[in-house]
Amino acid sequence: MIIVMQMGATPEQIEAVAASIRSRGIDPLVLPGEDRTAIGIPASLSSDARTDIEAQIAAMDGVSKVTQTSHPYKLASREFHREDTLVTVGEVVIGGGDFVVMGGPCSIESYEQFSSAALIVKSAGAQILRGGAFKPRTSPYAFQGLALEGLKIMQQVGQEVGLPTITEVMSGDLVPLVAEYVDILQIGARSMQNFPLLIEAGKSGKPVFLKRGPSATIDEFLLAAEYVLSQGNPNVILCERGIVALDKAYTRNVLDLAAIPVLKEHTHLPVIADPSHGTGVARYVLPMAKAALVAGADGIMVEMHPNPREALSDGSQALRPEQFQKLMDEIHHLATFVKGR
Ligand code: PEP
Ligand code: MN
């Protein structure tokens, strides 16, 4: 349930409503907005209790309306926060109308490999540099990433080329370390419901890039975002990276393009698509990147490698340098035709 206060409701009126809710043993969630305050009440009330509260609160001074919410998430919902959230990282604004491209290799493999990738990403016009230092691999025998050494390479190369950086953090206890070296914390698809990790990422105050779990519903995805937001961290970026495929013979995952307009409707958070993990096949990345732009995404995350055949992870979906350049050119061209971009 959401109580929307009138524009200009006084702090005393807001507190009176919150106190009245507390007096029933319920913890209200007070959400000051641009022009009015909303107060959330947990969805777990019985319908009788809800009807009683609705009638009594609606009659209080300063209350504009009381509505039942259809969604279990609150801070992530547009019902609470109508304006788009803009996440600013250095000079890059995510969610503000520009189509932002995050590019780089799946894994940071060496200074030479990452530096060469970063120069290509930068010269092609992408705005954010990606690369994994801690890799969530299906097999424990696969390359696990360079860990701290990878973070150091990322920090150095990011500074050398002048791009903000993003890398995955896989556990809550590593959040302070990773946050020291990079600009955006990525929560991987496999970790979307690692709740202690979400809480630590929320506490870090760093922008958090949250990938949708391969089997997660939209509500589960937004509730995961809610964990980060509920720590007082408003800088959450959502990433649709493909859900489990019916037919794995052709693509690794199914990039859920419909999730893009759905998310844009129900949440104010920026939405990025990842056509690399979404398809698993380099030649499908460009068409799906363009589709994501048309579907209303705020940007894309794309894997590229100076030499994909030598990549230590995800080589089959990595773009070669000239393919990455072509993607940037085509995206730029298409963006001029897509309204509002
Ligand atoms: C990645 O970005 O390299 C990655 C492991 O992504 P995901 O968590 O979406 O599989
Ligand atoms: Mn990858």
Q: How far apart are CA 42 and CA 73, in angstroms?
A: 9
Cα 106 to averaged position of ligand 2 atoms, centre (Å): 4
Is the pLDDT score of 283 beyond 80? yes
Judgement on whether residues 154 and 27 belong to the same structural domain of the protein: no
Given this model, what pLDDT does residue 340 score? 56
Q: How far is the CA of 188 from the centre of ligand 1 (A)?
A: 5
**What does the pLDDT read at residue 61?**
95
SS3 at position 108: coil
Which has the closest alpha carbon to 279: 271, 289, 270?
289
Q: How far is the CA of 288 from the centre of ligand 1 (A)?
A: 17
Going by the DSSP 8-state scheme, the letter that residue 100 receives in this structure is: E
Classify residue 76: in a domain, yes or no. Answer: no
Give the C-alpha distances (Å, rounded to integers) separating 25 from 17, 43, 117.
13, 14, 56
From the CA of 305, the nearest ligand is 2
- For atom 9 of ligand 1, the residue with the nearest CA is 189
SS3 282: helix
Q: Are residues 109 and 34 in the same domain?
A: no
Q: Among 185, 277, 304, 319, which residue has the most ligand 1 atoms within 8 Å of its CB, making it the best to mutate?
A: 277
Among left, alpha and beta (phi > 0; psi -120 to 50; other), residue 340 is left
For 77-81, 153-157, 161-165, 233-237, which range has the lowest pLDDT when averaged over its residues? 77-81
The residue whose two tokens read 């979906």 is 317
- Residue 63 sits in the same domain as residue 134: no
Q: Verify that 41 and 117 share a domain, yes or no.
A: no
Residue 74 located in a structural domain: no
Atom of ligand 1 nearest to the CA of 242: 9
What is 219-240 written as a DSSP string?
HHHHHHHHHHHTTT---EEEEE
| pLDDT score of 79 | 84
Verify that 111 and 149 share a domain, yes or no.
yes
Residue 48 has pLDDT above 80, yes or no: no
What is the H or E stretch that residue 243 is in?
A: strand 243-244
The predicted structure's pLDDT at residue 81: 87
- Check residue 296 and give its pLDDT: 98
Residue span of the structural domain in which 271 resides? 87-340
- Tell me if 34 is assigned to some domain: yes
Single-letter residue type at 72 = P
pLDDT band at 341 (very low <50, low <70, confident <90, very high): low
Q: Is the pTM of this model over 0.85?
A: yes
Last residue of a domain, one of 39, 67, 95: 67
